[in-house]
Amino acid sequence: MSTPATSARWIQGHTPVAPRIGIVLGSGFGPVAEALAEPVSIPYSDIPGFAVGSVLGHAGRLIVGDWCGQPVAILAGRAHYYEGFDWAQVTFPVRVLAELGVRELLLTNAAGGIASGMKPGDFMALEDHINFMGSNPLRGPLAEGRERFIDMTAAYDPGLRARLMQAGQTTGVSLTEGVYLAVSGPSFETPAEIRAFRTLGAHAVGMSTVPEAIVARQCDLRVAGLSCITNVAAGLAGPTQLVSHHEVMDVAREVAPRATRLVAEWVRTAGLQP
C-alpha cells in the first residue's frame, strides 16, 4: 500500500524539480497548466496511490515544472467524494505535495455564486469556508507525525490571500473576498438550501476544496483558495433558470485566459510578500 512518502519518492525519480508551490486545478482551470516551462507531465494512473477521477474538466495529471521563476507542482484535476472515493483518496495528493516539499498551496474551484451581485465569470479569493460535506477528512486513523486537532482560525493564509488580491490588481482581473461553502454533491443545491446557505454567511458554494484545505493545514502548508463563479446558484436567477455542469464548463473556458494571468502573477510574486 502506497504512502504519501513512497509516492513522493516515486515522483522524485521522474523529475529533478523540487516544487515549493502547489496548485490544484478545479473545473475549467485546466488551461492554467499549459503555462509551465518544459513540464514533466505524469498521469495520475501512473502514480502509486493516486485516485483517478472521471469528471469533465479534470485532466488527471501531475504537472511539474518552472513557472515565472518558481518550481511548481500542479494537480490538474482532482478526485471527488461524490464519485465514490473516500476522504483518504481525495486528499492523498495533498499529502504527497507536502512530502515533495511544497510549502504554499493554491486550491482552485468552480463555484455557484450566492452573494448578491455575483455573476458568472467573477473570481473570489477564499477568506474562510463552511464544511457542509457531512464529514471531516481527518476522521479515522491519525496520519503518522501529524496532529489530530488542527486549528482552522486562519485556514486560508492572509498573506497568500493578499497576494491574490494584489495579483488581481496587477493583471486587471477583478476578484472579491468571501466565504466558500462545500457540499458533498453531486446534485446541485435546491433554492431552499441556497437561501439557508446565504443566511449562514456563504458567498459561494461548491463540491470540493474544503477537505484539501483541512488536510493541507494538518500538513503545515500555507493555503490560498480561488473560486471562479461559473453560475448563479439555484433560485437566484429566477425559477426557470436551471443549473448544469455544461454551463459551468462553458463559463470556465471563457475565463481561462484571465484565470491564467491571475494565477501566474500570484506564482511570480511568491516570496516577495510575507
User: E strand or H helix at 245, and its extent?
Assistant: helix 245-268
Per-residue pLDDT tens over the stretch 20-76: 999 999 877 878 888 888 899 999 999 999 998 776 555 689 999 999 889 999 999
Q: Using a CB cutoff of 8 Å and minimum separation of 24, what contacts does 168-175 make? A: 168/123, 168/125, 168/262, 170/265, 171/258, 171/261, 171/262, 171/265, 173/123, 173/258, 173/259, 173/261, 173/262, 174/122, 174/123, 175/122, 175/123, 175/124, 175/125, 175/226, 175/262
- CA angle at 40 for the pair 35 and 41, rounded to the nearest 5°: 85
Sequential pLDDT tens for the chain (274 residues)? 789 999 999 999 999 999 999 999 987 787 888 888 889 999 999 999 999 877 655 568 999 999 988 999 999 989 999 999 999 999 999 999 999 999 999 999 999 999 988 888 999 999 999 999 999 999 999 998 899 999 999 999 999 999 999 999 999 999 999 999 999 989 989 999 999 999 999 999 999 999 999 999 999 999 999 999 988 765 555 554 555 666 667 777 788 889 999 999 999 998 655 4
CA 67 to chain centre: 18
CATH architecture designation of domain 4-268? 3-Layer(aba) Sandwich (3.40)
Catalytic positions, please?
A: 27, 58, 80, 82-83, 110, 207-208, 231, 245
Closest CA to 214 of 88, 121, 113, 116: 88
Q: Which residue has the cell 431552499?
A: 192
How far apart are the C-alpha atoms of 235 and 188, rounded to whole Å? 11
What's the length of the chain?
274
The sign of the dihedral angle between the CA atoms of 189, 191, 193, 195 is positive
Closest CA to 263 of 106, 127, 109: 106
Query: What would the grid cell of residue 8 be?
Result: 513522493
Q: Which amino acid is at 123?
A: F
